[in-house]
Amino acid sequence: MLPKRSSVADWYDKVSSFNIETLFVRPRQPGPPRSVFVNQDLPPDYYDDKNRLKKEHIYCTNQVITSKYTLITFVPRNLLEQFRRVANVFFLAIAILQFFPIFPTVSPGLVILPLLIVLGITALKDAYEDIKRHQSDRSVNYSHTRVLAGAGWQNPNPMRGKSRTFVPALPTSFRVGRKKKNPVSVDVVDAMEQESAVPPEALPTPQDDTIEFDEDESPVEEDTGGIFHHSDKGGRAHWKQTIWEDIRVGDFVKIMDNEPFPADILICATSEDENVAYVETKNLDGETNLKSRSASPVLTHLRSARACADPRNSFRIDCDRPDTNLYKVNAAVVLPDGEKSSVDAQMVLLRGTVLRNTGWVLGVVIFTGQDAKIVLNSGGAPSKRSKVERQMNPQVFVNLVILAAMAIVCGIVDAVLEQRYYPRNAPWTYADDQGNNNPHVNGVITWAFALITFQNIIPISLYISLEAVRTFQALFIYFDHEMVYKKTNQPTLARSWNLSDDLGQIEYIFSDKTGTLTQNVMVFRQCSVGGRAYKGDSPSDVDITKVGILEEPEDLHLSHSSGSHSPSGKHSIQDPSENVPDPLAADGVKLSDHVLTHFHDSLLSADIASAVGAELGASSAEHARRLNGFFSTLALCHTALISVDPHTNTIEYKAQSPDEAALVQAAADVGFIFRGRDREILTLQTPFSEQLEKYELLNILEFSSSRRRMSVVVRRLDGDDERLFLLTKGADNVIFERLGLGHEDLKVATEQHLGEFASEGLRTLTLAYKAIPEDFYQAWNKRCNEATVALDDREGKVDAVYEEIENDLQLLGATAIEDRLQDGVPETIADLKEAGIKIWVATGDKLETAIAIGHSTNLIGREANIIIVRGGGEGNKPIYTQMVNAVEQFFPESGILDEQGVAVQDQTVTTPTGGAYPLQRVNTGVSELVGHNNGERAGGYVLVIDGGALTDALSDERHKQLLLGLAMQCEGVICCRVSPVQKALIVNLVKDGLGVMTLAIGDGANDVSMIQAADVGVGISGEEGLQAVNSSDYAIAQFRFLKRLLLVHGHWSYARNGNMIVNFFYKNIICIGVLWWFQIYCGWSSQYAFEYTYLLFWNSFWTIAPVIAIGLFDRIADDHVLMALPELYRPSREGQYFNLRLFLIYMMDGVVQSAIVFFLILYAYDSTTSRTDGYAVYQYEFAVTMALSSTMAANLFNGLNTAVWTGWVFFAVALGPFLIYIYTAFYSAIKPGWFSTPIYGNNAYLWPSAYFWLCVFLTTILALLPRYVAKAYQFGFNPSDIDRVRLLHKLDPNRDFTKDRVGGVSALGRAPSRRRSIFGKRQPSIAAARPSNASRTDMSTGMRSVNYGFDFAAEDNSVALQRMQSNLSERHLRGPDKRRKHSLLGIPSTIRQSLRRKKPPMESIPNPNWIPGDPEPIPETELQREPSPESSYSRS
């Protein structure tokens, strides 16, 4: 059942989640479509009636500010953020109250000082962090780039003004990022001096290092005059060094190799002859592979500053409105004659990317600043508050209510007593007849004064102490050498210091797959060609595959150079003396980046050898054609580039993704070598030809997430053979839908092979082709060009045109690539599951691959039942019906369908004849039907849902409630084919729908929304980009470090902080309790029992050290124990270390102990006087005794609640009593001649008094006795799992707890016995009961099948995991779990009466580690569950 929230809770959530930022930052709406004018004047319609520019045509500056504050907004905004804490508001009100003279205090300034210190320290911390952000912004905004200037060129596009920054402007000579440039050459200066048409003052001098000229530009005389943009000088067109924030829309910029792009830029020309640029996009998508970008074909003549500034080169760029899609650009270049040329994402360089292996790039700025795509996607990180801090506000409210009640009682009773005794002339009512001292209004004054007296019930120092403790906890994480990635020496970094305790309460983990669970390193494993599967031989350690060298056809001989083929950054026109590697002369192919091994298969090599010599009419000719077509498609259908290593003379492929590199690499390994691209000519070497084959690349039909395929149109250049071919690769279901008729046997065989590949966790791809008639292509190409220049619905029109040609394909085969798992992923996921954390994986892979990855990562157990919900297919049941059927079939007693909002209406889908929905064949065509035992296996349930189904399931509240209810019954969920937006929606669904703590982990820009949506975001900072890390709260280098981060540091931090907070409340309530009991004897006048300085220093010196020691040094258990026994995370995950119940228990402890301290000391001193002179004791004589007793009790009570006593804990517990004793001795000895003290001479009566020493020690012992007895009873008769483990560790410090995992924590120390079921019968082990395989049910078709998982750990030569699944996994087998017995403090325990002695069972052999009184343990031989050889899974 889903938890139901009250209206009060909803109201509180709205108030607590109010975002202060909305008061200071206006949400900026995306701008309208724009036109960028180059060498043209603005049209008249850009101006209004008053000849002023319209606002929609004024573009934002290129200044990017990520900081939070300015000089003007810092004080009000920071104060508003700090006063979101209820305690700060309360203390401000109390401080203001004490400024009125009617409330006597030591000093109003002294009273408000603690609040000012807390606010000041927090403000300084926030200011320091924001100054760092401002400095970072300045270093970016003051980076330099080259902008066109001179020759009368001016930019007509209007821009907004820049904002003032927080950091004062630095002198020009000290600007960050300033690079020294080489001075202008003497030859250029001499040439400039000879230009008589240019005035001398307009000529740049050799010392002016901010101006550069194109190297290949000859000095010619140019006209000058006009207003020059970026320069007050005329003369020749040149490039002027300009800071980024001064760049404008419409500026020409020149970017050199290895420089970042300052804005979104349309490419005009590059240093390469093909006008291709190579960029690194890891800041955008986390990928380190170089991407190629090409120039707009109508602007390639703009290759110099002079050409760009020439007024004759005028044009207009029409752009769509700015949007967040990184892979979509809708624009067109409009020439003066009206001709349009389309602009897409391949022609635009985005801000944040870096130019690589290209000499230079010239381009026009089209989007700046807040309109740039990376800025639109970055969105400010949300302000996250920890769950502990959110829970503290209600507890502070409770204390406020208690304080208000205490003040009201004091006010009412004081007013009643004054009005009763005033007529009787009571001495203490003297002067009550004055105008400012009226018995009828004194109750109100007493009420206000009571708020001041008891204000310490709200611990203001708690917040600053908690901030300090969390800072040190972040440092503990950073310096933990167990979480340092040795390969890169990358430690774990806590980017948000206030979320450390949230790590200990995680209930759901949402993980990306590629790059997070996997290494993003590819291995080409298998392939299916013409219905034959090639499994591949064992990989070798050879780094280079040797290949032969063929000659080019004489009639098609084309010039080649490294500039035309590789991202070398050099011109294709080379000096003949230079030794430039020729890709046609390379004699080998080396491994590409992110590709581990070469692909070799002896059977495939034999088939290719026989196919080469096959005669045309032979039976093997058909398979020969398919082999040739299959690997030719692999070698041609891609956008990979090549480079030649000059040292080894080998080819290396540079692809945009590791998958693509692995495919081209595999084709080269079997003899189909892609030799490079010269302009639009592709060169291919194949075993079937004695000469190099040439293909003209006509069209690239690019891959997209919606198309899930890529195609190229090529023309064969082989003399008379100039046929056109469409070569396609893509997802299997997409390709199969577009196949032509015939060859059904080939489709069935390929479909079967695809299922085998996917079940082994391999990423599959299907290849197909078709021949295209010339006349059809010409007509289609014309429609394609028209669609690509359309500004309205360009994507839809282009996709429609692509659909026209991508049909009636001929199937060639399929490939299977392995994406290696990161080290320790299966073990980590298994341990996190054992800790009770539910794990959801979101991936873009196909459903079968996602299931296989689930098996290999231990997310899906070998006994698991898989529930599949999928959408998008014709004839599939509606998504709602699929989920309802899953609930009815597998969870009929869950009550999900009875909940409000999920009530089932008539959702039954029937056939036209009224019969039940028939079983259908799954469209991937894998696996085989099985028996009726699905859903009865012991491994629990895992839900697998695809992106199409999620679109419907997240469409309305009714679908969401049902999806959430179904997912809650499963131990894991896998979401496949999902988009970045869907990832964030899934996180919000669980976080908001269940009110649970969530963690999201990813490594790329597509994971940012998910990371920001979760309570805790973790970014992978290994070898990929930093986009996810920059948006995360914690940065780790490997997924396996997540286990230690949660189970150790999260558990420690939450236990420490929770224990620290409740002890903080306790130590304040014991002090306030003494003051409260004193009101009984002072007429409820709100007077202090203590001398004021004792109360003032209560939180500063007397009792602060032990709670800080708890937050820093307490350990609920040692780290190796927590790592070895993940089940110990349960009490932390369930929030048992800090909750309202625990808070009230500690508050009651404080009340009881304050009563013991006050009344025992009061009545001791109220008896016979302790003074030798016979005089009665003074108030501060016994009050100081109360203060010392309270301090002793508070410090020792905090120590009693500390699990580990280190030297620092001993020091902290002893510090408070030591300080208060020293203070009392010195403060009592201060003579009135120095300054007046109310306790002068008190030490003459305290130290010799027997009452003093008796009361201090007796009250301390009696105050601690209840908690000590409760803890002893709990440990002796109802210990928790933590208690049990700590005892075993105490008895045997060298104990290896990894050997105690079998059977769980509850089996530790128990005597051997046979495993019994809940009915008391012996239960055989699960492994022996049924084979080790999982069943699955596809709810869209009703088909049931066996699913064979593949373990990547076995493939990586690691130890196979033989662990039990979590208790949740076997829920279905055992039936409902019994409630565990609760201790006095409400902490569930897995054992009962562990220390009570009783005889061991007669049939059992005594166990030396057995703790008497324990229930019988589970024998290791029965729970190890070693699989039999026939049930193990390995690669065939």
Active-site residue numbers? 512
- CA–CA distance, 208 with 204 (Å, rounded to integer): 6
Q: Do residues 759 and 1433 lie in contact, with contact meaning Cβ atoms separated by under 8 Å?
A: no
Instruction: For 105-168, give the DSSP string.
Output: -S-HHHHHHHHHHHHHHHHHHHHHHHHHHHHHHHHHHT-EEEEEE-TT------BPPPPPPSSP
3-state secondary structure of 1227: helix
Whether the CB-CB separation of 994 and 1012 falls below 8 Å is answered with: no
Choose among 320, 317, 335: nearest CA to 157. Answer: 317
Q: What six digits make up the tokens of 1022?
A: 């290994």
**Cβ(557)–Cβ(717) below 8 Å:** no
- Measure the CA–CA gap between 1205 and 1000, rounded to whole angstroms: 35
* CA gap 1329, 1326 in Å, rounded: 5
Q: How far apart, in whole angstroms, are the C-alpha atoms of residue 492 and residue 1347?
A: 37
How long, in residues, is the chain? 1436
Please state, as a whole number, how many other Cβ atoms lie within 10 Å of the Cβ of residue 1346: 16
SS (H, E, C) 247-282: CCCCCEEEEECCCECCCEEEEEEECCCCCEEEEECH
* Three-state DSSP class for residue 920: coil
- Pair 651, 661: CB distance under 8 Å: no
3-state SS string for 934-979: CCCCCCCEEEEEEHHHHHHHCCCHHHHHHHHHHHHCCCEEEEECCC
CA pair distance 1411, 1311, nearest whole angstrom:
8
Three-state secondary structure string covering 1027-1043? HHHHCCCEEECCCCHHH
Cβ partners under 8 Å of residue 728, min gap 6:
633, 637, 709, 710, 711, 735, 738, 767, 768, 769, 806, 809
Candidates 730, 726, 798; CA nearest to 344 is 798
Cα–Cα distance for residue pair 345/296, rounded to 1 Å? 11
Q: H/E/C letters for each residue in 32-47?
A: CCEEEEECCCCCHHHE
| Residue 93: both structure tokens together | 């009100």
Question: In the structure encoding, which two tokens stand for residue 889, read together?
Answer: 């079939």
- Single out the residue of 29, 26, 42 nearest to residue 371, CA to CA: 29
Give the three-state DSSP class for 212.
strand
Residues 808 and 1102 sit within 8 Å (Cβ to Cβ):
no
d(CA 284, CA 351): 9
What is the C-alpha separation between 249 and 156, in angstroms, rounded?
9
Give dist(CA 535, CA 818) in Å, integer: 12
Amino acid residing at 914: G
The three state secondary structure string of 333-372 is EECCCCCEEEECHHHEECCCCEEECCCEEEEEEEECHHHC
CA 390 – CA 1057 distance, rounded (Å): 13
Q: How many CA atoms lie within 13 Å of 1403's alpha carbon, on the beta-carbon side?
A: 3
Cα separation, 512 vs 982, in Å, equals: 12
